[in-house]
Amino acid sequence: MNQPDGQGYITVSLPRPLVERIEARIRGTGFASPAAYVEYVLGEVLSDDPNPGDGFSPEDEEALKEKLRALGYLG
Amino acid sequence: MKALVLGLDCAAPALLFDRYADDLPVLSALRRRGAWGAMQSCDPPITVPAWTVMASSQDPGRLGIYGFRHRKPSTYTEGYTVSSTSITVPRIWDYLGQRGKNVIVVGVPPSYPPRPVRGCLVSCFMTPDGRPWTYPASLGEELRGLVGRYKADVLFRKDDRDRVLAETVDMTEQHFAILKQLLKTKPWDLAWFVEIGLDRIHHAFWKFFDPTHPGYVPGNKYERVGLEYYRLLDSRIGEILSLLNDQTAVLVISDHGAKAMRGAFCVNQWLAREGHLAFHEEPSTPIPLEQAPIDWSRTRAWGWGGYYARIFLNVRGREPSGVIASEDYERERDRLAASLAAVCDPSGRVMDTRVFKPERLYPVRRGDPPDLLVYFDDLSWRSAGTVGHPDMYLSENDTGPDDAVHDYDGIFILHDPRRASGGHGRLDILDVAPTVLTLMDEPVPPAMQGRPSEVVG
């Protein structure tokens, strides 16, 4: 799963048999590579995560809440 | 072929294509040379989901993003704000980076905290003051030398509109200066820019320039604010276009439209009156729902406010003090949906309210979708979640100035230098990213739900 060309990407190693199974699965599907398929599947899995982590610090979160409230997005 | 996307948050067809068109020489000329029309937004037509849907070609259900804030699991009113870390699917610039293309991303929500791209990124209006705002981090220093401290957004002040206007214009000038600098000095194949200032102008000044708004007063001092701000955008876009060669496609686009706000409807007070929500003691002054003494053991439903209402049912086994048994859930939800659809405005007229079950809008529903999505009076009435008001109807936003609400249709103007003209058409928000990739002669990834629009031929 080597994708060194995009700066937003890092390399993750997968066992060869798994990669071979992915290659068989994506044949003819439009997924350009096992990497593209793995990225898609993991994105799907992580979208369901109800607690996606810490985008904002607690203080920033409070300030942002007030701003969004003033803008009418919360109420 | 390169592509430049110029996002004007909240740009409205009625202003840009009609009322102000004769005063916008650059955009009107681009329209004559390209395809143009309404950009059909997503449900809900709200900034953060909409730009993400547009850039990823995934609907809000697949993204698990239904608004600016989301509920924390197993809580009633606690939430977190959606950030760039909430987006787990690739956006168009991620795909292009992977294919060796360089990108410039400026102000596309949500992009704080800044995440790596192949190229450079300036984070969006949600960037907290003084926090990192660029990728790479060194770009922040480079730009600061040119444009000063980053103005991510303006603060709303109901009592000082002059200042809101002056700060919005300053901010917009800075954002265009940043874009200009990056286009001139960085390698790029795709540049995607979003200016938030127009949304702020609409929300703060709409009633001053829209004669159909109930609060409009002819001859008021802000009567020309809308026109002058659109002219500012037109002029700055003209300067940007003069930097491009004939190998660059241009898409001017908004994430949703805007229209006059008729008022705010206090959804939780209505739920209390209808017996769905119970207080230990009824508040006598306006307070946010999270501060209200709610008796959850006797509450069957509650709502979150905003430009649309999210209704949650208090379900046994799902909520901490859930009261609705799972076998009663559908019946309760149907009954509540029917009552919401029959809500009247203060004159006694039944509002044109749309009530959606999320499964009707989204084939896949990730994250924490509400049990019902409600657009009061076809979005013309905002939903207020606060309680303790003397009346269920507020003539203005309960939390600040707000003259405009969101509308489904945004705008698009697409100019492909290989085609003389395109004519009038509609563009679905899911089709935007596939359309841009096609213009760039790039393949459309199979994970994208949309397809290249026919407007590009």
Smallest CA–CA separation between B420 and chain A, in Å? 32
* Cα(B357)–Cα(B375) distance, integer angstroms: 12
Q: Tell me which chain A residues have a C-beta less than 8 angstroms from the C-beta of B47.
A: 73
> What integer pLDDT is reported at residue B88 of this predicted model?
86
* Size of the A and B interface in Cβ pairs below 8 Å: 153
Asked if residue B300 has pLDDT above 60, the reply is yes
Asked if residue B189 has pLDDT above 70, the reply is yes
The tokens of B356 are what?
A: 């959606």
Asked if residue B123 has pLDDT above 50, the reply is yes
pLDDT in tens, B428-455: 999 999 999 999 999 999 999 999 998 7
Write down the mean pLDDT value for chain B. 94
Write down the mean pLDDT value for chain A. 78
> What integer pLDDT is reported at residue A64 of this predicted model?
87
B81 and A40 in contact by Cβ < 8 A? Answer: no
Model confidence at B79, in pLDDT bands (50, 70, 90)?
A: confident
Q: What is the DSSP letter of B128?
A: P
Report the DSSP beta bridge partners of residue B135: B121
> Exposure of B390 by Cβ count < 10 A (0-12 exposed, 13-18 middle, 19+ buried)?
exposed
> What integer pLDDT is reported at residue A54 of this predicted model?
66
pLDDT in tens, B61-73: 999 999 988 888 7
* Cα(B299)–Cα(A42) distance, integer angstroms: 37
* Cα(B370)–Cα(B362) distance, integer angstroms: 12
Query: Which residue, B285, B292, B361, B296, is CA-closest to B323?
Result: B296
Annotate B361-383 with three-state secondary structure.
HCCCCCCCCCCEEEEHHHHCEEE
Q: Tell me which chain B residues have a C-beta less than 8 angstroms from the C-beta of A39.
A: 90
* Nearest-by-CA chain A residue for B448: A40
Q: Tell me which chain B residues have a C-beta less than 8 angstroms from the C-beta of A51.
A: 72-73, 80
Interface test with A, best of B62, B366, B449 (most A CBs within 10 A): B366
Asked if residue B426 has pLDDT above 80, the reply is yes
Asked if residue A59 has pLDDT above 50, the reply is yes
B305 and A70 in contact by Cβ < 8 A? Answer: no
Which residue did the predictor score with more confidence, B191 or A42? Answer: B191
> What integer pLDDT is reported at residue B380 of this predicted model?
93
A71 and B67 in contact by Cβ < 8 A? Answer: no
Q: Give the mean pLDDT of B51-55.
A: 98
Interface test with A, best of B53, B65, B80, B437 (most A CBs within 10 A): B80
Alpha helices in B222-322 (DSSP H): 225-241, 267-273
> What integer pLDDT is reported at residue B154 of this predicted model?
93
Asked if residue B138 has pLDDT above 90, the reply is yes
Q: Give the mean pLDDT of B229-249.
A: 97
Model confidence at A44, in pLDDT bands (50, 70, 90)?
A: confident
What percent of chain B has pLDDT above 90?
84
Amino acid at B113: P
B397 and A68 in contact by Cβ < 8 A? Answer: no
Q: Tell me which chain A residues have a C-beta less than 8 angstroms from the C-beta of B386.
A: 75
Give buried/exposed letters for B364-388 (b at 16+ CB in 10 A, else e): ebbbbbbbbbbbbbebbbbbbbbbb
* Cα(B218)–Cα(B204) distance, integer angstroms: 17
Q: What is the largest CA-CA distance in chain B?
A: 67
> What integer pLDDT is reported at residue A4 of this predicted model?
42
* Nearest-by-CA chain A residue for B157: A70
> What integer pLDDT is reported at residue B456 of this predicted model?
67
> What integer pLDDT is reported at residue A53 of this predicted model?
58
Q: Taking the CB of residue B336, how many other CB atoms lie within 10 A of it?
A: 21
> What integer pLDDT is reported at residue B113 of this predicted model?
93
> What integer pLDDT is reported at residue A5 of this predicted model?
45
B306 and A5 in contact by Cβ < 8 A? Answer: no
pLDDT in tens, B309-321: 999 999 999 999 9
> What integer pLDDT is reported at residue B7 of this predicted model?
98
B97 and A8 in contact by Cβ < 8 A? Answer: yes
B399 and A56 in contact by Cβ < 8 A? Answer: no
B383 and A53 in contact by Cβ < 8 A? Answer: no
Smallest CA–CA separation between A74 and chain B, in Å? 5
Asked if residue B402 has pLDDT above 70, the reply is no
Model confidence at B118, in pLDDT bands (50, 70, 90)?
A: very high
Q: What is the pTM of this model?
A: 0.91
Model confidence at B363, in pLDDT bands (50, 70, 90)?
A: very high
Q: Give the mean pLDDT of B198-217.
A: 90
> What integer pLDDT is reported at residue A7 of this predicted model?
62
B62 and A55 in contact by Cβ < 8 A? Answer: no
CB contact at 8 A, B426 and B38: yes
Model confidence at A2, in pLDDT bands (50, 70, 90)?
A: very low
* Nearest-by-CA chain A residue for B73: A50
* Cα(B147)–Cα(A25) distance, integer angstroms: 50
A5 and B99 in contact by Cβ < 8 A? Answer: yes
Asked if residue A13 has pLDDT above 80, the reply is yes
Q: Tell me which chain A residues have a C-beta less than 8 angstroms from the C-beta of B449.
A: none
> What integer pLDDT is reported at residue B395 of this predicted model?
74
B304 and A74 in contact by Cβ < 8 A? Answer: yes
What percent of chain B has pLDDT above 70?
98
Least confident of B66-80, B140-154, B231-245, B276-290: B66-80
Q: Tell me which chain A residues have a C-beta less than 8 angstroms from the C-beta of B73.
A: 50-51
